[in-house]
Amino acid sequence: MPPLALAIIGIALVIGLIALATRGGDDPAASQTATDPQIPQVSEADIAAAAQQLGPRDQELVNIGRTGVSIDRAGGARKYVALTFDDGPGPDTPAVLAALKKAGVPATFFVLGGNVQANPDTLRQVVASGNEVGVHTWDHKDLTRLKPAEQKAEIERTAGEILAATGVASRLFRAPYGSVNPQVLKQAENAKLLSVLWDVDTVDWTRPSTDQIVQTAVSQARPGSIILLHDGGGDRAATVAAVPKIIKELRAKGYEFATVGDLVISDPPGSDDMTSESRDTQRY
């Protein structure tokens, strides 16, 4: 059998094991017992191996970035934007998903590993609804203030939790506070993740009104924009209410929507759309 076919079969088997191990409960480990041979144990090594496997689309995403650089936006050749949501999954995530589904819009969710562990069913809903998931670390620490081994653990532990919960290997990474340095970006590269920042910040974490969130998103958007919103980290009622209005107003201006991955693959960023700088001027 050709090597590529063997590799594909191996990936499918690993993902199949992960799906079996996570089916039917919020805490897979609690549901696995020595007396239940129908549910196989999935080792950390299995999860790590699956996370490192790159299909053609994954490889293209990883190749878009380069060492020491994050992307801020896509190239701007197409009138598409990406909505992104940070800090979930949490209590407001289902309402965000409902608004996106009603509008027929996909989005990208940068999740915290601790929240995934607490809310795996919600993350599965995110994926089942056709959305994309990215790594936002385990517990929202500023990675530039951590030692390399701690940075690595924050990223890889979260990537493993996402994979274990959904069977999907994330290929995107967003540092908390947008705070990056060469070492953080190297850790993302080692984990086969593309570092993604943004070029439109709605500042919804400061709890502005719904209309203020909408006005910021719509007035600052341009072709290829990556728009920062939050579905976790506190009460996001204003953000939930803003989502359908943002979509309606941007569509009235001729915009369409894509996940970050689809956006940057279809409209690759140029050098002006990437940065090595941190976005940690504000703390959120």
Q: What is the per-residue pLDDT across 23-64, written as a single tens digit (0 to 9) for each?
A: 333 222 322 223 332 323 446 676 667 667 888 899 999 888
pLDDT at 101: 98
Return the minimum-mean-pLDDT range out of 10-24, 54-68, 173-187: 10-24
Q: What is the per-residue pLDDT across 218-228, written as a single tens digit (0 to 9) for each?
A: 999 999 999 99
Query: How far is Cα 66 from Cα 271, in angstroms, rounded to an integer?
Result: 10
pLDDT at 53: 80
Q: How many residues does the chain have?
A: 284
pLDDT at 246 over 50: yes
pLDDT at 69 over 70: yes
Return the minimum-mean-pLDDT range out of 53-57, 209-213, 279-283: 279-283
DSSP 47: H
Task: Give percent above pLDDT 90 in the chain.
Answer: 73
pLDDT at 129 over 60: yes
Rounded mean pLDDT, 247-257: 98
| C-alpha to C-alpha distances, 7 to 10, 11, 14, 49, 85, nearest whole angstrom | 5, 6, 11, 11, 33
Q: Where are the domains of the chain?
A: 50-270
Q: Would residue 272 show up in a list of annotated catalytic residues for this protein?
A: no
pLDDT at 9: 36
pLDDT at 46: 67
Rounded mean pLDDT, 93-121: 98
Q: Would residue 136 show up in a list of annotated catalytic residues for this protein?
A: no
Average pLDDT, the chain: 85
The conformational region for residue 185 under phi > 0 = left, psi -120 to 50 = alpha, else beta, is alpha
The conformational region for residue 224 under phi > 0 = left, psi -120 to 50 = alpha, else beta, is left
pLDDT at 284 over 90: no
Which among 86, 201, 262, 267 is annotated as catalytic? 86
Task: Give percent above pLDDT 70 in the chain.
Answer: 81
Which among 87, 230, 231, 262 is annotated as catalytic? 230
Query: How far is Cα 190 from Cα 151, in angstroms, rounded to an integer?
Result: 11
Query: What's domain 50-270's architecture?
Result: Alpha-Beta Barrel (3.20)
If one counts every other C-beta atom within 10 angstroms of the C-beta of residue 10, the result is 13
pLDDT at 51: 66
